[in-house]
Amino acid sequence: MKNRQLALGVAILAAGSLTGGILGPRLDAAADRSNDRLKTFSQILGIIQEQYVEEVSPEVAIEGAIDGMLKTLDPHTHYLNTAEYQDMMEEQHGSFSGLGIVISKPTLDKPLTVIAPIEGTPAYRAGIRPGDVISQIEGVDTLDISVDQALKKLRGPKGTQVNITVVRPGEEDVLHFTITRDDIPTRSVQYAFMIRPEVGFIRVSNFTQTTDRELEEKLQVLKNAGMNRLILDLRGNPGGLLEQAVRMADKFLSRGQIVVYTRGRTKGSDQEYTASGAGTHIDFPVVVLVNKYSASASEIVAGALQDHDRALIVGKTTWGKGLVQTVYPLSHRSALALTTAHYYTPSGRLIQRDYQSLEDYFYLSKEEDEEVPSEHEIRKTDSGRVVYGGGGITPDILVDSLKLDKFLRQLENEQVFFGFAVQFNLRHKDLDRTFTVDDSTLNDFKKYLTQRKIEFTDEDLKDHEAYIRGSIRKEVFSARWGNEEGFRVFADIDPQIQKALEGFPQAQQLAHLTGDTTTSDSAKEP
């Protein structure tokens, strides 16, 4: 670390000497002030280590000081310790080594439960099932450990083995598995299916190094199945690699159209990214679904397709994360993710929203019922449609997600629908995909609520009947045929997906507006 700091200091002083007699003295003075502060910091650290009432790890103290320094900058500049940096690299590369199961543990006093094995992984091949309770890992009870702690125990180098003990609903004896770890793909394209005749649906969960390849494969599969309209679901997608966002937008744009551009303070931070002309899907209408948890790369794609009138945007205003981070590897296999520029959409909209209040930024976000952006800059799309800047992407059609009251939140938080579906499938092993939730199933569900000691009234069930029926069907399908099948049947009661399906006539009109129009430099503002 000291060598890196020394090299950086030498580089700065050398640059200053080339600019004449003004910059050099200023840099010398700045360096002197920094050295004074570093000396003070070292003194404080030394006093803490010698005199504090309890022993303090210098690593913990220094990392705390680093975090405090970075919090004075912006919400997205942060220090990555060894574990965090490794997790980020695995996510961006699209794979890690482990068993391949999705696990859940709502609270520490709840059992470690398998939500689903990932198809084709070691856990799937070993016969792990949804609803299995992992009671022990390597002979150690799991009741008092968190999901993160469990994942660390389950993951490991490819080819190594892990022993787990499983309690399975409907089985009297506990089950013991010895499973060999393998590379587990972290799929970027979560779901892809035909949601209606001629209408494809693709849900992308993040942007990793495999996103472009996965998306192209799924688009081709759906086109072969008759797709000539597409719903691209970016809801809850927190972003990822800029390069992959550009490649996604490129699939739907014409050569030369700007996807996004960046502006920063340092050399090389001003960049412009344009469509290559290799777009293979520029001839059919597209609807993009977003919500307030769509951020960064998701906003780049939504903003580019909206500004070029290439897609209809449906849902809620996005998060507003338009700060570009550059990751600098450090010593001890750690890293610094430092904000170095801002993102702008083709029309010149700044994606980043205000973060003066971190409480508002992280915890309150935007109001769910926000309909028209207030005090936001106005921009124009290629065809002259009004769009809003100043933070996030405002949809063309604003639609709320499903609203959950206290009763439904309790059912979701305690995984009541999932637990009922596991037991229901055990009693009904001859179900097929024509299954619907009839009154008999609802009565079974009422008995299950009583068994789980969930307080409810007949009015609760009546008021939320559509949601309850849809959620039961979703979890039954997920447990029996996989999460994609569960998501597909739940789409019938998802108001944002239903509005997207209704929006294709408008999306078709936008598709007719697009051509080889490119956005000129004059449309951009820093």
Contact 230, 281 (CB under 8 A): yes
Residue 345 belongs to domain spanning? 189-401+511-523
Any domain includes 414: yes
Supply the pLDDT for residue 373. Answer: 55
Poorest-pLDDT segment among 58-62, 114-118, 372-376, 472-476: 372-376
Select from 135, 168, 185 the last residue of a domain.
185
* From 218, 292, 316, 321, active-site residue: 321
The pLDDT value given to residue 33: 64
> Would you state the structure tokens that stand for residue 19, as one six-digit string?
């600019």
489 is a domain residue: yes
Residue 8, both tokens:
């950086």
Q: Which of the four pLDDT bands, split at 50, 70 and 90, describes residue 337?
A: very high
Confidence label for 32 from pLDDT (cuts 50, 70 and 90): low
DSSP, residue by residue, 171-201? -SS-EEEEEE-EEEE--SEEEEEEEETTEEE
d(CA 483, CA 476): 10
> pLDDT over 70 for what percent of the chain?
87
- pLDDT the model gives residue 90: 73
What six digits make up the tokens of 403?
């609203």
Average pLDDT over residues 63-90: 87
* Residue 321: active-site member: yes
- Helix runs in 71-210, H state only: 82-93, 122-126, 147-154
What pLDDT, on a 0 to 100 scale, did the predictor assign at position 35?
A: 78
Catalytic residue among 233, 307, 309, 396: 307
Query: What are the residues whose beta carbons fall under 8 Å from the beta carbon of 471, sequence distance 6 or more?
Result: 411, 417, 490
pLDDT at residue 31 in the model: 54
pLDDT of residue 85: 87
Give 375 or 198, the one with higher predicted confidence. 198
270 pLDDT tier (thresholds 50, 70, 90): very high
pLDDT of residue 148: 83
Per-residue confidence band for 385, with pLDDT thresholds at 50, 70 and 90 = very high
Residue of 515 and 156 predicted with greater confidence? 156
User: What integer pLDDT is reported at residue 260 of this predicted model?
Assistant: 97
Residue 457 forms part of a structural domain? yes
Q: Could you tell me if 457 and 330 lie in one domain?
A: no
Name the active-site residue from 294, 296, 334, 347. 296
Instruction: Map residue 86 onto helix, strand or coil.
Output: helix
DSSP bridge pairs for 339: 325
191 pLDDT more than 60? yes
Residue 329 shares a structural domain with residue 195:
yes
3-state DSSP call for residue 268? coil
pTM listed for this prediction? 0.81
pLDDT band at 371 (very low <50, low <70, confident <90, very high): low
CA 45 – CA 58 distance, rounded (Å): 8
Of 249, 246, 256, 313, nearest to 282 by C-alpha is 249
Show which of 136, 162, 185 is a domain's final residue. 185
Identify whether residues 199 and 334 lie together within a single domain. yes
CATH number of the structural domain spanning residue 105: 2.30.42.10
383 is catalytic: no
Would residue 104 show up in a list of annotated catalytic residues for this protein?
A: no
pLDDT digits (tens, 9 = 90+) for 196-242: 999 999 999 999 889 999 999 999 999 999 999 999 999 999 998 89
Total domains in the chain come to 3
Report the mean per-residue pLDDT for the chain: 86
Q: What is the CA radius of gyration of the chain?
A: 26
